[in-house]
C-alpha cells in the first residue's frame, strides 16, 4: 500500500489523501481549501478518475461533514461511490436546502463505528470520534499486509470524551503509519488545554442568568455538541432555545432522539422561522416543511414578551426580524465559533459592528473542535505507530518536538506505507 497527501501536509483545509494498493485506489476526504474563493474556480487535486472515469478508483471515503473534508465532491464524476456516515449524509442533505451553493450527497455505503467494510483490497475499520462535526470518524485501513491509521479531525474535550478514551484504551494495533491532525498546534501552547463543552455549559449558564433580555448565540447549527451545550444551559436557566428551520432540519437529520429537536418529549425548545427563511422556503417549494414543527412554533408577535425567557441560535441576518419585533431590549450576543470569522471582511465582523451600533454587548464563548497538544500526545503514544505523518496542520514542524517517529511529507509525493 502507498499513499499520497494531495493537500494537508502544510495546511488546514482541502484535505485529500489518495491510497493505492494492488492496482486499486481510494480517496480519504476531498475537502475544499480554506482559502478557496468558490467551488467553480477551485481545481480538483491531480487524481486519476475524478473527472474522467477510471476503473481503479473505487470510491471516496469522507471522514465527516465539514467542508474542508468534502467540499470538492460536487465537482467529481457522480458515478464515483461515496462512503460516509449515515448522519453525515442526512445532515449534508438537510443543509442543502438552506445553505448557498450546497448540494446533497448520496452515499453508496455508510461508515459505522468499528464495523469493518471492504473496498477492493482496502479493509476499512471506522472509529467514531469526538469532534465539533457530528458523526466524525477516524479510520484504520489495512491492505497488502500494511496498516494505516488516519485520525480525521478529533478532540477529547467535547460532549463525547468517552470515544477518545476508548480509542486510547483500545487503540488500533500494529499501525505502520499514522496520519494525525494537528490543528491546535500554534493555536494553543503545548501544556495548555481547551475548555470542555461542559466548561462552556457552566459559562453559558452564568451568562444567561446575567442577561436581562434575549440571549443570542451565534453558532453553527451543524456543531451539534455546541447546540446541546446551549440547550442544556438554556434549560438550566429556565429559558427556551429558539431555533430556525435550518437548525431544526439539521437536528432532526442526526437521527438521534437524544439530540434536542422539535419532536414529542422535548421541552424548552421552539422554532422561529425568520421572514427571510419563510420566503426562501416558499421559493424552494418546501414551505410545508414547517408543518412538522406544529406545537413548537413561536411567532413574531411573541418574541418581545418571551425574550427574557429565551436563548436563540442566531445568525447576523436575523437581527432585523428581532429589531422589528422589539425583542432586542436587554439582549446580549455570544459568539460561539472560531474567532477567525471575526477578522475584517468576515461575516462575524459585520455582526460585531452591528451589535456595537445597536449597543448590544458582544462576547466570545467558544472552545476548539480539535484536540489540544496534550491529548494529541496521548493519542500518538497509544497508537505508537512506526511512523507518524502530520496532516491538517499549519505547524508540521512542531510535530517532531511533541511526538515520536515523526516523518514530514510533502503534498503530492507518493509514500510507501
Question: Among residues 153 and 197, whose Cβ is nearest to Zn ion?
Answer: 153
Question: Among residues 36 and 273, whose Cβ is nearest to Zn ion?
Answer: 36
Least distance to Zn ion, CB of residue 183, Å: 7
Least distance to Zn ion, CB of residue 12, Å: 6
Least distance to Zn ion, CB of residue 152, Å: 8
Question: Among residues 1 and 91, whose Cβ is nearest to Zn ion?
Answer: 91
C-beta atoms surrounding 268 within 10 Å? 18
Question: Among residues 321 and 375, whose Cβ is nearest to Zn ion?
Answer: 375
Query: Which of left, alpha, beta for 211 (phi over 0: left; psi -120 to 50: alpha)?
Result: beta
Least distance to Zn ion, CB of residue 341, Å: 15
Helices (H) and strands (E) in the chain, counts: 12, 19
Least distance to Zn ion, CB of residue 201, Å: 21
DSSP assignments along 94-146, one per residue: HHHTTSTT------SEEE-TT--EEETTEEEEEEEE--SSSSEEEEEEEETTE
Question: Among residues 222 and 237, whose Cβ is nearest to Zn ion?
Answer: 222
Closest alpha carbon to 249 in 180, 325, 313, 321: 313
- Residue pair 232/260 in contact by the 8 Å Cβ criterion: no
Rounded to an integer, what distance in angstroms lies between the CA atom of residue 252 and that of residue 234? Answer: 19
- Residue pair 352/381 in contact by the 8 Å Cβ criterion: no
Least distance to Zn ion, CB of residue 242, Å: 26
Question: Among residues 70 and 362, whose Cβ is nearest to Zn ion?
Answer: 70
Binding site for Zn ion (CB under 5 A): 66, 68, 133, 153
Question: Among residues 184 and 261, whose Cβ is nearest to Zn ion?
Answer: 184
- Grid cell 484535505 in the structure block, residue: 15
| 122 alpha-carbon distance from chain centroid | 26
* Positions of E strands within 281-369: 310-313, 332-335, 362-364
Least distance to Zn ion, CB of residue 64, Å: 6
362 - beta bridge partners?
333
Amino acid at each position: 500500500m502507498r499513499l499520497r497527501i494531495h493537500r494537508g501536509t502544510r495546511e488546514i483545509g482541502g484535505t485529500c489523501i489518495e491510497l493505492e494498493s494492488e492496482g486499486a485506489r481510494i480517496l480519504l476526504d476531498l475537502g475544499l481549501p480554506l482559502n478557496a474563493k468558490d467551488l467553480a474556480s477551485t481545481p480538483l487535486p491531480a487524481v486519476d478518475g475524478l473527472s474522467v472515469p477510471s476503473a481503479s478508483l473505487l470510491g471516496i471515503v469522507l471522514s465527516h461533514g465539514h467542508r474542508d473534508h468534502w467540499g470538492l465532491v460536487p465537482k467529481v464524476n457522480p458515478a464515483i461511490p461515496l462512503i460516509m456516515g449515515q448522519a453525515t449524509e442526512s445532515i449534508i442533505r438537510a443543509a442543502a436546502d438552506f445553505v448557498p451553493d450546497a448540494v446533497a450527497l448520496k452515499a453508496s455505503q455508510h461508515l459505522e463505528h468499528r464495523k469493518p467494510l471492504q473496498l477492493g483490497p482496502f479493509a476499512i475499520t471506522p472509529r467514531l470520534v469526538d469532534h465539533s462535526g457530528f458523526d466524525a470518524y477516524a479510520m484504520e485501513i489495512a491492505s497488502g499486509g500494511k496498516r494505516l491509521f488516519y485520525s480525521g479531525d478529533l478532540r477529547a474535550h467535547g460532549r463525547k470524551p468517552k470515544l477518545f478514551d476508548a480509542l486510547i484504551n483500545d487503540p488500533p494495533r500494529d499501525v505502520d503509519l499514522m496520519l494525525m491532525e494537528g490543528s491546535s498546534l500554534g493555536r494553543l501552547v503545548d501544556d495548555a488545554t481547551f475548555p470542555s463543552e461542559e466548561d462552556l455549559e457552566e459559562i453559558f449558564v452564568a451568562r444567561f442568568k446575567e442577561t436581562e433580555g434575549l440571549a443570542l448565540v451565534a453558532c453553527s447549527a451543524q456543531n451539534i455538541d455546541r447546540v446541546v451545550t446551549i440547550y442544556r444551559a438554556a434549560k438550566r436557566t429556565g429559558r427556551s432555545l429558539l431555533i430556525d428551520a435550518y437548525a431544526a432540519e439539521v437536528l432532526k437529520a442526526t437521527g438521534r432522539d437524544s439530540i434536542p429537536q422539535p419532536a414529542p418529549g422535548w421541552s424548552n425548545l421552539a422554532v422561529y422561522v425568520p421572514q427571510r427563511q419563510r420566503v426562501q422556503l416558499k421559493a424552494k417549494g418546501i414551505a410545508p416543511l414547517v408543518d412538522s414543527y406544529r406545537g413548537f412554533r413561536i411567532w413574531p408577535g411573541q418574541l418581545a414578551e418571551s425574550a427574557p425567557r429565551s436563548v436563540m441560535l442566531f445568525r447576523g441576518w436575523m437581527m432585523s426580524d428581532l429589531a422589528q419585533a422589539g425583542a432586542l431590549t436587554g439582549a446580549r450576543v455570544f459568539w460561539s465559533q472560531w474567532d477567525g470569522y471575526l477578522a475584517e471582511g468576515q461575516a462575524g465582523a459585520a455582526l460585531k459592528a452591528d451589535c456595537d451600533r445597536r449597543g448590544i454587548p458582544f462576547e466570545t464563548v467558544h472552545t476548539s473542535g480539535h484536540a489540544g497538544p496534550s491529548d494529541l500526545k496521548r493519542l500518538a503514544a497509544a497508537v505508537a505507530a512506526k511512523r507518524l505523518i502530520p496532516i491538517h496542520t499549519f505547524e508540521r514542524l512542531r510535530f517532531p518536538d511533541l511526538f515520536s517517529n515523526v516523518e514530514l511529507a510533502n503534498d503530492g509525493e507518493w509514500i510507501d506505507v
